[in-house]
Structure 1
Amino acid sequence: MSDYHISKDGEGWKVLKAGGQKASATARTKAEAQEIAKKLAISTGGGEVREHASRDGAVHKKGQIIDSDTHGKRDPKGNG
């Protein structure tokens, strides 16, 4: 089981395995990055896909996790 993080990278988006140093994949859009991360999490037996804020805002700071979804395994919070 592996968790993946997605974040803005220049003009595109990167998918990074938790604990990794090098992007597992890159994508042109956030939606593409989310789909890639979801497939990678499922293919490794399930995991979390976490999205990080791309810039500072009124609510979030750059790099802060702003969304997390469980794929390919039971949701630890029992939400599906």
Structure 2
Amino acid sequence: MSEPLALSLGQQFEIERMSRAIDDTADLQALQGIAKQLLQAWHSQKAATQWVMRQQLGAPSQFAAGLPQPWGQDA
């Protein structure tokens, strides 16, 4: 059985840092900017995880066709 996913100490500190930044921000535009940064980071992490999984499974590149490509790259 595999170990449960655990955050590193650095990741825990980064979460705390971002949480405090959110708590300390009263400006709606600043909060929107933080939310967009977090959304981008989340989707980037998902894409990286999918890429690693494809590499480990030896999946053909055709599986990547349905995934969004970074700007400036065609499928």
TM-score (ref. length: structure 1): 0.26
For the pair shown, the structure with the greater C-alpha radius of gyration is: 2
Instruction: Name the structure where strand makes up a greater proportion of residues.
Output: 1
TM-score, normalised on structure 2? 0.27
Would you tell me which structure has more helix in proportion to its own residues? 2
Whose RCO is larger (CA < 8 A, sep 6+)? Answer: 1
